[in-house]
Amino acid sequence: MQKSNVILPSQTIGIIGGGQLGRMMAIAAKYMGYQVVVLDPTPNCPTAQVADQQITAAYADLEAIKALTAESDVVTYEFENVDLEAAALIEAEGKLPQGAEPLAVTQNREKEKQLMKRLGLPVSPFVIVHNGSECREALNDISFPSVIKTCRGGYDGKGQLKLAGPEDREAAIAFAEANGHCIIESWVTFDKEVSVVFTRSQTGDIQFFPLAENEHRDHILHQTTAPASVSKRVEEKIQACAKQIGDALNIVGTFTIELFVSGEDIYVNEMAPRPHNSGHYTIEACNISQFGQHIRAICGLPLMDIKLLQPAIMLNILGDTLETAKKVLADHTFGHVHLYGKEEAKPKRKMGHVTFVANTIDEIKQQQDILKEDI
Ligand code: AMP
């Protein structure tokens, strides 16, 4: 007899959100033989192009959520800002193994940091403020440099302001007055930014992908190198943090934690309850991708043991670099180009990515050097 929570191919997976992460989840699911239905307001969105069906409606449209739930045997999400009422509705139907709780925590930087603190994880000192006058007060106790961030809705560096020194006090106060609920954190002088992407099964098994080292440009992920060059001890500390968070939130599916590394010290920065841009390299570099493992987890299947087949470097393709990426695809025999099928190429918009794999990171850098002559 099949266990009741096991969803097998030809059954249907519903995805809330039709961007690139949903698309890559859908591709992994289609490889395995699942049916896919996506909910997204934009007709022919990136995920709809590879799914069986699209429900074209706003994410928070509860009638559409009910229709998605009725069509699906299991539902997942590709972003954290899912309407909590909608998530609760799907959970009540027993079709949201990831649960609503990880959403509630990761939608809110205060809840996220309080959870980390409660678990005793290393975080940069922070204070929470709700308006300009609380911010004025708080700045007496926090050292510069620091950064003020909105507790909700920020991504890719939007909704945050670096505070270099006391000269930025008034700008911080104005920021808090305009945005309300904010967090002010001490600035961490780090050697590296890394992320740990892992998948947790419905029975609590955790599988870690190799640690990724990330370089941002203009607050947007530019390049990921895997495996990250950190000591075994740092890697173990990071995996221990991830396990604590995974168990505390009873995570199911692929989950990501971003951290700063300074010497042998680590600081947990933020987390995402889903596959992540810094895990795209797993598609070519590992025996199973972050998306394939996610589908296994939400469908109640046992997770695969993860193996790194080759080191990798992933570069994001933004609206600005789309034409160059197409040229790379046409002119070279290396670099796995993924384009997401977005209609409009705006500057800074993520249009795709390219992953280079080889026997060593040095070999990959040689490939990149050849490309640079073209760029
Ligand atoms: P976040 O949205 O929190 O991921 O912040 C975006 C980027 O800003 C991070 O990837 C870091 O490069 C930088 N950043 C954010 N918070 C801090 C911090 N407390 N110390 C140093 N750098 C930070």
| Ligand 1 close to Cβ of residue 270 (< 6 A) | yes
Residues 168, 235 within the same domain: no
Residues 132, 237 within the same domain: no
CATH number at residue 209: 3.30.470.20
pLDDT digits (tens, 9 = 90+) for 216-247: 998 899 999 999 999 999 999 999 999 999 99
The confidence score (pLDDT) of residue 142 equals: 87
Count of structural domains, the chain? 3
Question: 19 C-alpha to center of ligand 1: Å?
Answer: 24
Low-confidence ranges of the chain (pLDDT < 50): 1-3, 375
Residues 40, 73 within the same domain: yes
The answer to the question of residue 150 being in a domain is: yes
CATH number at residue 85: 3.40.50.20
Q: List C-alpha distances in Å: 204 to 85, 102, 298.
A: 26, 15, 12
Residues 205, 281 within the same domain: yes
Q: What angle, rounded to 10 degrees, do the helices at 20-32 and 290-298 form?
A: 70
| Ligand 1 close to Cβ of residue 144 (< 6 A) | no
Residue nearest to atom 18 of ligand 1 (CA): 187
Amino acid letter, residue 353:
H
Q: List C-alpha distances in Å: 308 to 190, 227, 281, 285, 328.
A: 26, 8, 10, 6, 25
| Ligand 1 close to Cβ of residue 188 (< 6 A) | yes
Q: The domain containing residue 343 runs over which residues?
A: 192-371
The confidence score (pLDDT) of residue 375 equals: 46
Residue nearest to atom 7 of ligand 1 (CA): 219
DSSP for 195-209 reads: EEEEEE-TT--EEEP
| Ligand 1 close to Cβ of residue 216 (< 6 A) | yes
Residues 240, 354 within the same domain: yes
Q: Would you state the structure tokens that stand for residue 238, as one six-digit string?
A: 């990071």
Q: Would you state the structure tokens that stand for residue 349, as one six-digit string?
A: 């918009």
Residues 148, 265 within the same domain: no
CATH number at residue 141: 3.30.1490.20
| Ligand 1 close to Cβ of residue 162 (< 6 A) | no
| Ligand 1 close to Cβ of residue 147 (< 6 A) | yes
Instruction: Report the distance separating Cα 91 and Cα 70, nearest Å.
Output: 12
The confidence score (pLDDT) of residue 370 equals: 79
Residues 346, 198 within the same domain: yes
Instruction: Report the distance separating Cα 243 and Cα 206, nearest Å.
Output: 7
